[in-house]
Amino acid sequence: MSQMRYVIMQQQDQLFFVEMPATHAYQLSALNLRLHKEMEKLTADHIPTLPRAVAEGDNIDLHSEHTSIISGIDYINTLEKDFAAIQEKDYPLISLLTEIRALQAQLEQWYEELEEGLHS
């Protein structure tokens, strides 16, 4: 079984792929669906644009230079930064940030364990 899985994201007419540990890809897809559901309730002036998770797959062969693969940890770090910057007053944004940060911590641990395994 492949260690990595790809979450295919769509933002407007652009696709990009987020490379995730196979054990955590579903969590990113589920988080994305929840964020989309909850974003409608936000009242802040500046809410980040969020792509939609449209599919997952184990193997990706890119045939276009206009499509990219983003590291899962880079994607979740950017997502956390974007949501932490929202100046929300009416909606408990902390619950969304908690979910983002939980996946962020899991990914950090996964990469640390991978690194340790490579050096032992």
pLDDT tens track for 37-71:
998 888 888 888 999 999 999 988 888 888 889 99
pTM (2 decimals)?
0.90
Query: Residue 25 sits in which domain range?
Result: 4-119
**Would you say residue 1 has pLDDT above 70?**
no
> Based on the number of CB atoms within 10 Å of its own CB, is 91 exposed (0-12), middle (13-18) or buried (19 or more)?
middle
**Would you say residue 9 has pLDDT above 80?**
yes
- How many domains is the chain built from? 1
At CA 101, angle to CA 95 and CA 77, rounded to 5? 130
